[in-house]
Chains A and B, each alone.
Chain A
């Protein structure tokens, strides 16, 4: 008999996984359970004690400084921190855990603090509940002083892990992807957050917005069901058996899907270009193996900040060259780094309306130039396209083009080889770019449409805000009109447009894109097979008629019903 419990969230990435919960306490510190050899236990306890001692010294220094600066009054909080370091409920229990379970300090701290956090969360007194922040602070300090590095120095986890946490930044997920991370669940976030996008491209099942997640502790057995959007805590034997049998069925299906590399042509013979979106250079190989004709979007920021700091130019050139060579002549669209989104902070300022994408690049020209130099130097190894993200004015675009010319002149001077015909494009993802893409057309070679951001800005919906995420709707007449307008503005310019947002990855909304005239799509690898199936099952003529009809409709629901009825007519 188990106490199986089902807690609800929203689907972040499909599929399911069974594993042990690992709480990512701090974006930078994820601890794992390491089993120590018996002779290592004493040393580990010493290591922990040293970290306590070091923390105590730091706090004492801080307290002295605070006293000097603002008198006795404000230093009492440090008193509380210092007392936690002497608390037997905390320190002694951690030492006991290390000893009895022969585990590493990080994991012992995690388990003891998890219990305490849960106890805090159960308190009725809101003021006291908030005090868990003090404990978090202490834990962070201890971890830091243990010298925990963001990446554990070992290759394999001893068990399948499901990452849980309030927020799991995409960078953390990415850093841990080679470990045995089989699933993920977050308290906040939505299917459109970058963490979810990353989970999908890594094919890691994910459930987002699980409000009841704090009840789960590190070490608990969990099932993350990304198909239903639920997390099952302490699943019973029967439930586990049920999932295991589904596992077998799914693998077989997956193999069948991958072999279907038929051309992407509609029933009535219209051909559609279908590319793949990737976040990591390693994905190129599987994209090409799946029969993708192009890499329609390579989000370079994840690889760029891979080690948590900026790479040097030589390693970037090597990476980008490898990507192009692995693509075997298929065009690869490199989107220059788009930071400022949820990779960065969550300090209350909405980064979506701030310095991100091209704005960031223009403000940090040295970073931008380094990437562009690396791209151009790698360009001789295949078919490269360079895409500029988050463009909102022709001025920004001109400034970016000027920097590109600078970089090329520099390379000319150094007599370094590059492909001078590398097409440069603009990502249409702000309403400003959607309205003025025709003005940008003479300056660039191609366009991409980022529907995720476009929809979020058009409909004024923060993609990470649970209270409005249900309003995010690609079938909103405002979006249809916007897309129709972009098509009309760009038609006369003859410049190509590829749609690479989530809208292209969902069969009904992708069908709308086709009907509106967008015949180049690029999707996550996970969606590739299903979009190809959709393309091969529809008639372009019918989709054009459908587009004409839905453009006259007034409500998102009407549009959606009509589209679904057409796409799934059989």
Chain B
């Protein structure tokens, strides 16, 4: 299976809080690809569905933390691109 993956440092001052998470869901919903956010930290790994606000909030990604974005589907390239751009702030 083809998929895109990239890492990005969260640039929002409050991390992925309610407003940022809501915007992220909105943005992710524009793409057809399935999009997953993940924390690569081997001691505390976690994944979140970029279209689920609850799972994004529970990923608890704070300001300056590093998350991975993985997408798979027809528009995966644009999806990873624009989501990373958004997360970088």
- Which A residues contact B (CB, under 8 angstroms)? 76-77, 79-80, 83-84, 87-90, 116, 119-120, 123-125, 127-128, 131, 134-135
* The stretch of B17-25, B35-43, B69-77, B79-87 that contacts the partner chain: B17-25
B13 → A minimal CB distance (Å): 11
Judged by a CB distance under 8 angstroms, whether B49 is at the interface is yes
Known: A128-B17, A131-B18. A87 touches B60 (CB 8 A): no
Q: How far is the CA of A119 from the CA of B58 in the complex (A)?
A: 7
Judged by a CB distance under 8 angstroms, whether B11 is at the interface is no
Q: Which residues of B contact A128 (CB under 8 A)?
A: 15, 17, 57, 60
Taking a contact as CB atoms closer than 8 A, the residue among B18, B19, B52 that contacts A87 in the complex is B52
Q: Which residues of A contact B62 (CB under 8 A)?
A: 125
Q: Which residues of B contact A88 (CB under 8 A)?
A: 49, 51-52
| Top 3 A-B pairs, shortest CB-CB distance | A83-B53, A89-B52, A79-B22
- Seed contacts A87-B53, A116-B58, A135-B54; 16 additional CB < 8 Å A-B pairs: A77-B18, A79-B26, A80-B21, A80-B22, A83-B22, A84-B53, A87-B55, A88-B49, A89-B49, A89-B54, A89-B55, A120-B57, A120-B58, A125-B60, A127-B14, A128-B57
In the complex, are the beta carbons of A127 and B53 less than 8 A apart? Answer: no
Question: Interface on chain B toward A: helix, strand, loop, or mixed SS?
Answer: helix
Q: How far is the CA of A359 from the CA of B49 in the complex (A)?
A: 55
Q: How far is the CA of A79 from the CA of B25 in the complex (A)?
A: 10
B16 → A minimal CB distance (Å): 8
In the complex, are the beta carbons of B54 and A87 less than 8 A apart? Answer: yes
Q: Which residues of B contact A90 (CB under 8 A)?
A: 52, 54
Q: How far is the CA of A124 from the CA of B62 in the complex (A)?
A: 10
Q: How far is the CA of A80 from the CA of B19 in the complex (A)?
A: 7
In the complex, are the beta carbons of A116 and B17 less than 8 A apart? Answer: no
In the complex, are the beta carbons of B17 and A131 less than 8 A apart? Answer: yes
Q: Which residues of B contact A79 (CB under 8 A)?
A: 19, 22, 26
Taking a contact as CB atoms closer than 8 A, the residue among B18, B22, B54, B60 that contacts A124 in the complex is B60
Q: Which residues of B contact A116 (CB under 8 A)?
A: 54, 58
In the complex, are the beta carbons of A125 and B15 less than 8 A apart? Answer: yes
Q: How far is the CA of A127 from the CA of B22 in the complex (A)?
A: 16
Q: Which residues of B contact A134 (CB under 8 A)?
A: 18
Q: How far is the CA of A123 from the CA of B21 in the complex (A)?
A: 16
A181 → B minimal CB distance (Å): 31
Q: Which residues of B contact A119 (CB under 8 A)?
A: 58
In the complex, are the beta carbons of A80 and B58 less than 8 A apart? Answer: no
In the complex, are the beta carbons of B22 and A76 less than 8 A apart? Answer: yes
In the complex, are the beta carbons of B60 and A84 less than 8 A apart? Answer: no
Q: Which residues of B contact A89 (CB under 8 A)?
A: 49, 52, 54-55
Q: Which residues of A contact B18 (CB under 8 A)?
A: 76-77, 80, 131, 134
* 7 A-B residue pairings within 8 Å (CB atoms): A79-B22, A79-B26, A83-B22, A83-B53, A87-B53, A124-B60, A125-B62
Q: How far is the CA of A87 from the CA of B53 in the complex (A)?
A: 7
A141 → B minimal CB distance (Å): 15
Q: How far is the CA of A89 from the CA of B51 in the complex (A)?
A: 10
Q: Which residues of A contact B19 (CB under 8 A)?
A: 76-77, 79-80
In the complex, are the beta carbons of A127 and B52 less than 8 A apart? Answer: no
Q: Who on chain B is nearest to A88 by CB? A: B52
Q: How far is the CA of A437 from the CA of B63 in the complex (A)?
A: 63
Interface centre among A77, A120, A131, A135, by most chain B C-beta atoms within 10 angstroms, is A131
Q: Which residues of A contact B17 (CB under 8 A)?
A: 127-128, 131
Q: Per-residue 0/1 for B56-67: is the Cβ within 8 Å of any A Cβ (1 yes, 0 no)?
A: 011010100000
Q: Which residues of A contact B58 (CB under 8 A)?
A: 116, 119-120, 123
